[in-house]
Amino acid sequence: MNFNVFNNPDVVNIFTDGSMYMNTHTRETIGCAGALIVDSNKVTTKYTQILRDSTNNECEIYSIILGIDAAARRGLFNGTNTINLFSDSQICIKGLKEWSFKWITNIRDGRLISSSGMEVANQELFAYLMTNIVNNNLRINFYHQKGHINPSSRKDIDKASRVFSISNYCKLIEIDRRFIQEIAYYNDMVDLFTKAELDSRRCNGEFDTKVTKGYYPFNIDLSTLDISKYSTLIGRR
């Protein structure tokens, strides 16, 4: 990977992450999904979404939804422009880039089925993401990164480089350390502002009363999804 992706006006980088808070009095787990848009090495937009009665995986997936929705709304990424999306959730990235093709093959009664024969968890969120990418012609590369890395620590960066190499099927020698440092820097920024959002809402008493999980307003029929187009748009290797 070339460090210049962060200075290239034709490339938009999206960093996603989620933070969690457990209310010990109500026993409710509350998430804050976050997405950071970096354009020409400048942070242009931040997005957050509070998710009541949530799980870590739901929060991570919803963080990606925030980033993808931002790309679709801006309408600047059709054609030759490229989006790089970075997440420290291996489940999310592998689900979108690899496992989803098997899930769709195994569809039963309109539900995505995993290789184990079980219904895919949080599939409404995955289905929404895939459909949104195709409908908005978003050319996007998904990358798994190691989270919570100190950008100034050589040991941390070396470890993160190895993880990036394995997760994204590229040679370690091809990865510029400055590239990994940039990823760590922006990922840390997402982590900090989602935690700050949770702390602010908690201090305001917003989480004092337990709230039952709301239904995600996604009702997607994947039987009509152009899976070939999806494969091309996400740069499947």
Q: Express each pLDDT in 118-163 by its tens digit.
A: 999 999 999 999 999 999 889 899 999 999 888 889 999 999 999 9
Within a domain: 159: yes
More confidently predicted of 207 and 71? 207
**101 contacts 237 by C-beta, under 8 angstroms:** no
Between the alpha carbon of residue 85 and those of residues 16, 112, 191, 201, the distances in Å are: 8, 24, 15, 27
Within a domain: 2: no
Within a domain: 3: no
What is the three-class DSSP state of 217? coil
Within a domain: 237: no
Within a domain: 1: no
pTM of the model: 0.93
**Pairwise CA distance, residues 104 & 24, whole Å:** 39
Number of domains in the chain: 1
**Pairwise CA distance, residues 50 & 175, whole Å:** 34
Within a domain: 96: yes
- pLDDT tier for residue 2 given thresholds of 50, 70 and 90: low
Q: What is the CATH number for 145?
A: 3.30.420.10
Position 75 pLDDT exceeds 70: no
Within a domain: 74: yes
Within a domain: 210: yes
Q: List, for residues 185-227, the tens digit of each pLDDT value.
A: 999 999 999 999 999 999 999 999 998 876 666 778 888 889 9
**18 contacts 34 by C-beta, under 8 angstroms:** yes
Position 174 pLDDT exceeds 90: no
Residue 88: give the domain boundaries: 8-232
**Pairwise CA distance, residues 182 & 95, whole Å:** 25
